[in-house]
């Protein structure tokens, strides 16, 4: 066997896991989300950047405000999910680099003094962290429903500020009945991998 991870864990994290479109009403606790974050914060990023920011939408009032910005096909499932998280990139992440990357504290000013460079790095590395977050949700025995079908500027104005760029909205919970679409195809190894 080429992988050291237990086959059941492989299934939980990848093979059997899918984007959920329906959830039970079982709540997702603060302890579960903290455990997820405390696991996935170790995922690698460039210069140990940590630009991902997670806004948990728990109150009914905040949920209603968010649902207004979701694409029509995403509104009902976002309204009904036990927990919704807005994942965004902090474009001022560089301020934390001297602490997070003490091996090279000069990186903050050398590479990220310009806003455009920060936005590119924040988007790339927060997207990596968002993927880790989704896998972490699965590791907690929950299902994730990540979505990019929403009014990005509306969500930014409603929940964030000019220094944060929304990446995705993720519904989180125990999967409900008929939560999954059929498994979609994936590209084969030889369609993706080349050797030079």
Q: Domain holding 107: CATH number? A: 3.40.109.10
* pLDDT at residue 40, as a whole number: 98
- Please state, in angstroms and rounded to a whole number, the distance separating the CA atoms of residues 82 and 58: 8
Query: Residue 193 falls within a domain, yes or no?
Result: no
- Which residue segment(s) compose the domain that 49 sits in? 19-175
* pLDDT at residue 171, as a whole number: 98
Query: Residue 4 falls within a domain, yes or no?
Result: no
Residue pair 166/160 in contact (Cβ under 8 Å)? The answer is yes
Percent of the chain with pLDDT over 70: 100
Q: Is it the case that residue 1 has pLDDT exceeding 90?
A: no
Average of per-residue pLDDT across 16-23:
94
Query: Residue 150 falls within a domain, yes or no?
Result: yes
Query: Residue 145 falls within a domain, yes or no?
Result: yes
Q: Is it the case that residue 91 has pLDDT exceeding 90?
A: yes
Q: Is it the case that residue 109 has pLDDT exceeding 90?
A: yes
Average of per-residue pLDDT across 169-184:
94
What is the number of domains present in the chain?
1
Query: Residue 104 falls within a domain, yes or no?
Result: yes
* pLDDT at residue 188, as a whole number: 97
- Please state, in angstroms and rounded to a whole number, the distance separating the CA atoms of residues 144 and 19: 6
| Confidence grade of residue 10 (pLDDT, cut at 50, 70, 90) | very high
Whole-model pTM: value is 0.95
Query: Residue 2 falls within a domain, yes or no?
Result: no
Q: Is it the case that residue 73 has pLDDT exceeding 80?
A: yes
């Amino acid at each position: 066997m080429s992988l050291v991870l237990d086959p059941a864990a492989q299934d939980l994290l990848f093979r059997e896991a899918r984007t959920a479109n329906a959830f039970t009403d079982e709540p997702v606790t603060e302890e579960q989300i903290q455990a997820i974050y405390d696991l996935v914060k170790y995922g690698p990023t460039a210069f140990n950047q940590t630009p991902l920011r997670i806004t948990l939408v728990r109150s009914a009032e905040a949920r209603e405000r968010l649902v207004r910005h979701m694409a029509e096909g995403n509104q009902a499932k976002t309204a009904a999910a036990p927990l919704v998280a807005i994942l965004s990139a902090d474009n001022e992440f560089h301020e934390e680099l001297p602490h997070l990357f003490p091996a090279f504290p000069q990186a903050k000013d050398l590479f990220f003094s310009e806003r455009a460079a920060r936005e590119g790095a924040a988007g790339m590395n927060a997207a990596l962290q968002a993927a880790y977050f989704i896998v972490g949700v699965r590791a907690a025995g929950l299902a994730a429903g990540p979505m990019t079908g929403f009014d990005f500027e509306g969500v930014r104005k409603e929940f964030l500020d000019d220094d944060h760029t929304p990446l995705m909205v993720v519904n989180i919970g125990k999967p409900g009945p008929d939560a999954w679409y059929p498994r979609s195809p994936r590209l084969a190894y030889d369609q993706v991998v080349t050797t030079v």
